[in-house]
Homo-oligomer: A and B are copies of this chain.
Amino acid sequence: MTELVQECKSLFKNLLKIPDNFSIFFMSGGATSQFASIPLNLIDNPNSMASYVVNGAWSNLAFDECKRMAKVTLANPNQPKKDWNYAPKLQKSDIHPESKYVYYCDNETIHGVEYSQPPESFGIDLVTDMTSNFLTKPVDFTKFGIVYSGAQKNWGPAGLAIVIIRNDLLNKKGLPYKPKSMDYSYLAKTDSSEIPVPAFALVVARETIKWIMANGGLTRMNELSVQKSQILYDTIDQSNGFYVNSVKKDSRSRVNIICKLQGNDKVLTDLFVNEAQKHGLLQVAGHQSVGGLRFSVYNGMPLDGILRLQQFMKDFQANHQNKPKL
């Protein structure tokens, strides 16, 4: 088990070019555990607080969780809280001066919104949730204090997370009621030897990283993500309003392409999902909280699948556009 953990750490370090002044460790659970762990570890006195960018369902959950632990403020209070459709840039005045860190979600899975570049955080440590776009592009770690990711999208089965943290942040005392199983310093020091992580998930992670390395690395994964998503965005944008994606163009996710059918027609949407399934195109319904359609094109999705989906979208449109309502 110790060898497996070390091998995985070494593979992640090589693939992502993680600098020597960062520590890597694994934790059981997914993003929800990190939502609590981050304030518990980074905030160490009752006067300090955190600034959160909330521009989608996941950053919103992270913000709500931080409220239980510590004082927290919104970095983008003027963005409407519904229909999140862009990745806001930050001004210095957006960040509360007592903030110990600035938190944002690099890719909002449900809302199909992704940062093309991390937001400026003006010298405050930047913490990011990369659960759904981790290993789909290179990462510039000089911009971050913490990068974390749950395994279940691009690198393994659910139930495992990776935390990549700048070493000086491990010296923070944190909040007094921080559970030991969420104590970053303890976890980095004991290196999964005291608090178990699921070994099977690590084995899958190891093989996945080797696969990425053998297939061109992160630069190539990014090229493929851009190519695959662009095919679908073009299909949507050229559909004369049959398919609608309302995410601002510079914030469109390379991995989660969402859209609604004309008039957001529920019956037509259900028909699309069912017929797609008959064509072997699975899991295309949008998240239940937003409806519509969502095409997730993680590293595991081949180009051929995208081309088949594109053809299906065109055929479906030809069969159903401007037809009388079902």
Taking beta carbons and an 8 Å cutoff, which residues of A are in contact with B? 28-30, 32-33, 35-37, 40, 65, 68-69, 150, 152, 157-160, 175-182, 194-201
Q: Which residues of B contact A28 (CB under 8 A)?
A: 28-30, 33, 159, 198
- Residues B68 and A196 in contact, CB atoms below 8 Å apart: no
Q: Which residues of B contact A198 (CB under 8 A)?
A: 28, 157-160, 198, 200-201
Number of copies: 2
- Residues A65 and B29 in contact, CB atoms below 8 Å apart: no
Kindly state the separation between the CA atoms of A28 and B197 in the bound complex, as whole angstroms. 9
- Pick from A69, A159, A176, A194 the residue with the most CB of B within 10 Å: A159
With A65-B180, A177-B177, A200-B157 in contact, do A195 and B29 touch (Cβ < 8 Å)?
Answer: yes
Q: Which residues of B contact A201 (CB under 8 A)?
A: 159, 198, 200
CB proximity of A26 to chain B, nearest CB, Å: 10
Kindly state the separation between the CA atoms of A159 and B203 in the bound complex, as whole angstroms. 14
Kindly state the separation between the CA atoms of A165 and B29 in the bound complex, as whole angstroms. 21
- Residues A159 and B30 in contact, CB atoms below 8 Å apart: no
Q: Which residues of B contact A182 (CB under 8 A)?
A: 36, 179
- Residues B36 and A195 in contact, CB atoms below 8 Å apart: no
Pick the residue among B36, B69, B181 that contacts A29 (CB under 8 A): B181
Could you pull out 19 A-B pairs where Cβ atoms are within 8 angstroms? A28-B29, A28-B30, A30-B196, A32-B194, A33-B179, A36-B179, A68-B176, A68-B179, A68-B180, A158-B198, A159-B159, A159-B196, A159-B198, A160-B198, A177-B177, A179-B179, A179-B182, A200-B200, A200-B201
